Amino acid sequence: MAQQDVNAERVQAMLRESARVKQELADQSAGTIARAASLVVDAFRAGGKVLLFGNGGSAADAQHLAAEWTGRLRGERRGLPAIALTANTSELTALGNDYGFDRIFARLIEAHGSPGDVAIALSTSGNSPNVLAGVAEARTRGLRTIGLSGRHGGKLATAVELALLVPSDDTPRIQESHIAIGHVLAELVESALFPRRV
């Protein structure tokens, strides 16, 4: 079999697995995702904000999802206050240097979080120490907490108020589903807050 044919089969297998994971996620977690959207809607309606954070690919996902609220997903509307705590390299390196990498998100939650805000933590394993420390700080300060993780959720699953667990152990498939969850959350929030514009 030619290499191109082998690669085409691999492409099909990966895309089919990604679709299967999302279908299982839809079957298992639609209600939990809808509840998470309600937490975000309540926070925005009360004048609060959303703080998102994670490491590596999850840091990029946090920035992507924050941009869906500060920008727009579907219709034209006012910007919504969402902050990716991973976006400012000067903050991250200063805090890592002064307090240790495990404390970066906790310190940023301390700086930016207020009671009633929503903290959205992303970790494919659910066991990243700095993400868990950020969630602990958020809960101490009265923020609502949502966690996005993989199949079992690790320690994050029990640390947050709502755990959105992707039914996979494969990091790429988990991260693809995290973006899908984020887009669903953004669309539900927009339709609740700006019903004529979506």
**Confidence tier at 54 by pLDDT (50, 70, 90):** very high
- Per residue in 134-164, pLDDT tens? 999 999 999 999 999 999 999 999 999 999 9
- What is the structure's pLDDT at 197? 56
Q: Which amino acid is residue 135, in one-letter code? A: V
- Per residue in 68-77, pLDDT tens? 999 998 889 9
Whole-prediction pTM value?
0.94
- Per residue in 86-99, pLDDT tens? 999 999 999 999 99
**Confidence tier at 4 by pLDDT (50, 70, 90):** confident
Show the tokens assigned to 76.
């034209």
Show me where the domains of the chain are located: 3-193
For 139-165, letters b (16+ CB in 10 Å) and e give: bebebbbbbbbbbebbbbbebbbbbbb
CATH superfamily placement of domain 3-193 = Glucose-6-phosphate isomerase like protein; domain 1 (3.40.50.10490)
Interval 114-141 mean pLDDT: 98
Task: Specify the 3-state DSSP secondary structure of 166.
Answer: coil
Interval 45-52 mean pLDDT: 98
CB-based contacts of 48: which residues, under 8 Å, 6+ apart?
Answer: 81, 114, 116, 117, 118
pLDDT beyond 80 at 6: no
